[in-house]
Amino acid sequence: MTTDKIAQNMEVIGADGVHVGTVDGVANGRIRLAKRDSGEGPHRGHAHFIDLGLVADVEGQRVRLSATAAVAVTFEEEQSGKPV
Protein backbone atom coordinates (compact mmCIF):
# COMPACT_ATOMS: atom_id res chain seq x y z
CA MET A 1 0.00 0.00 0.00
CA THR A 2 1.42 3.35 -0.97
CA THR A 3 0.80 6.08 1.54
CA ASP A 4 0.44 8.85 -1.05
CA LYS A 5 -3.29 8.08 -1.37
CA ILE A 6 -3.93 8.47 2.36
CA ALA A 7 -4.54 12.05 3.53
CA GLN A 8 -5.44 13.86 6.71
CA ASN A 9 -9.15 13.86 7.66
CA MET A 10 -9.97 10.76 5.61
CA GLU A 11 -12.33 8.37 7.37
CA VAL A 12 -10.92 4.97 8.36
CA ILE A 13 -13.51 2.19 8.14
CA GLY A 14 -13.45 -1.52 8.77
CA ALA A 15 -14.14 -4.13 6.10
CA ASP A 16 -17.76 -3.98 7.31
CA GLY A 17 -18.02 -0.23 6.60
CA VAL A 18 -18.10 0.76 10.28
CA HIS A 19 -16.18 3.89 11.38
CA VAL A 20 -12.84 3.15 13.09
CA GLY A 21 -11.32 6.63 13.14
CA THR A 22 -10.11 9.64 11.20
CA VAL A 23 -6.64 9.99 9.69
CA ASP A 24 -4.48 12.55 11.45
CA GLY A 25 -1.37 11.59 9.49
CA VAL A 26 0.84 8.77 8.21
CA ALA A 27 4.36 8.05 9.47
CA ASN A 28 6.65 5.09 10.10
CA GLY A 29 4.34 2.57 8.46
CA ARG A 30 1.32 3.53 10.54
CA ILE A 31 -1.78 5.68 10.30
CA ARG A 32 -2.13 8.08 13.21
CA LEU A 33 -5.79 8.38 14.17
CA ALA A 34 -7.17 11.73 15.33
CA LYS A 35 -7.42 12.14 19.10
CA ARG A 36 -11.16 12.81 18.84
CA ASP A 37 -11.61 9.12 17.88
CA SER A 38 -9.51 7.80 20.75
CA GLY A 39 -12.26 6.04 22.67
CA GLU A 40 -13.18 6.19 26.32
CA GLY A 41 -11.53 5.78 29.70
CA PRO A 42 -7.74 5.72 29.80
CA HIS A 43 -7.56 5.79 25.99
CA ARG A 44 -9.46 9.06 25.66
CA GLY A 45 -7.58 12.15 24.53
CA HIS A 46 -4.51 10.71 22.85
CA ALA A 47 -3.79 9.36 19.38
CA HIS A 48 -3.82 5.70 18.43
CA PHE A 49 -2.15 4.11 15.43
CA ILE A 50 -3.12 1.49 12.82
CA ASP A 51 -0.44 -0.43 10.93
CA LEU A 52 -0.55 0.16 7.16
CA GLY A 53 -0.57 -3.63 6.75
CA LEU A 54 -4.26 -3.56 7.69
CA VAL A 55 -5.17 -1.22 4.82
CA ALA A 56 -7.09 -3.05 2.08
CA ASP A 57 -7.90 -0.08 -0.17
CA VAL A 58 -8.42 3.65 -0.40
CA GLU A 59 -11.87 4.45 -1.76
CA GLY A 60 -12.44 8.15 -2.39
CA GLN A 61 -12.14 9.81 1.03
CA ARG A 62 -12.17 6.53 2.95
CA VAL A 63 -9.43 4.15 4.00
CA ARG A 64 -10.88 0.63 4.11
CA LEU A 65 -9.20 -1.89 6.38
CA SER A 66 -8.99 -5.63 5.73
CA ALA A 67 -10.53 -6.40 9.14
CA THR A 68 -13.95 -5.50 10.50
CA ALA A 69 -14.08 -2.47 12.78
CA ALA A 70 -14.50 -4.60 15.90
CA VAL A 71 -11.37 -6.59 15.03
CA ALA A 72 -9.38 -3.60 13.72
CA VAL A 73 -9.61 -1.72 17.02
CA THR A 74 -7.94 -4.65 18.75
CA PHE A 75 -4.90 -3.99 16.53
CA GLU A 76 -4.67 -0.29 17.48
CA GLU A 77 -1.36 0.71 18.99
CA GLU A 78 -0.11 3.43 21.30
CA GLN A 79 2.59 5.79 19.96
CA SER A 80 5.22 3.47 21.49
CA GLY A 81 3.96 0.58 19.35
CA LYS A 82 2.43 -1.28 22.28
CA PRO A 83 -1.16 -2.56 21.93
CA VAL A 84 -3.91 -0.28 23.22
- Its pTM stands at 0.85
List all residues 6 or more positions away from 4 whose beta carbon is below 8 Å from its beta carbon.
none
| Integer Cα distance of 34 and 2 in angstroms | 20
Question: Which CATH number describes the domain made up of 3-75?
Answer: 2.30.30.240
Residue-wise pLDDT for 58-71, tens only, equals 999 999 999 999 99
Q: Where are the domains of the chain?
A: 3-75
Distance (Å) of CA 78 to CA 14, 57, 61, 72, 73: 19, 23, 24, 14, 12
Confidence check: pLDDT of 1 > 90: no
In this prediction, residue 41 carries a pLDDT of 47
In this prediction, residue 45 carries a pLDDT of 61
In this prediction, residue 2 carries a pLDDT of 63
